[in-house]
Amino acid sequence: MTHDHMFIDAEGNVTKGKNVMKEGWRQFFKQYPDYRNKFTSITVQDNIVVMVGYSTCSFKQLEGPNIWTARIRGNRVSEWKVSWLNKR
């Protein structure tokens, strides 16, 4: 992640900063250790990566089809966004 990394969740909430996100991901995976993203398609154009697939988790509200986008700056992710393809 870049130092000014931005995460945008499926509800449009924005979290900024690498250190904040590292702690956020630690807490998320502590709470949902079996959460996984399964990508069925990955497309790269310039500095944008688009991933289509689905999430799995024993907490059913986190499961379902998604689209993820990542913006790349240098060799780091500057933005990660998830969009749910169904209402949860």
pLDDT tens-digit readout, 54-71: 999 999 999 999 999 999
| Cβ neighbours around 26 below 10 Å, total | 10
pLDDT tens-digit readout, 21-56: 999 999 999 999 999 999 999 999 999 999 999 999
Question: What is the structure's pLDDT at 86?
Answer: 85
pLDDT tens-digit readout, 2-14: 999 999 999 999 9
Percent of the chain with pLDDT over 90: 97
| Start-to-end Cα distance in the chain | 28
Residue 69 phi/psi, 5° resolution? -125, 145
Tell me the C-alpha distance between 80 and 74, whole Å.
15
Residue ranges of domains in the chain, CATH in brackets: 6-84 (3.10.450.50)
Q: Say yes or no to pLDDT of 88 above 80.
A: no
Question: What is the structure's pLDDT at 41?
Answer: 98
Q: Say yes or no to pLDDT of 75 above 70.
A: yes
Angle among Cα 11, 86, 15 to the nearest 5 degrees reads 20
Could you tell me how many residues make up the chain? 88
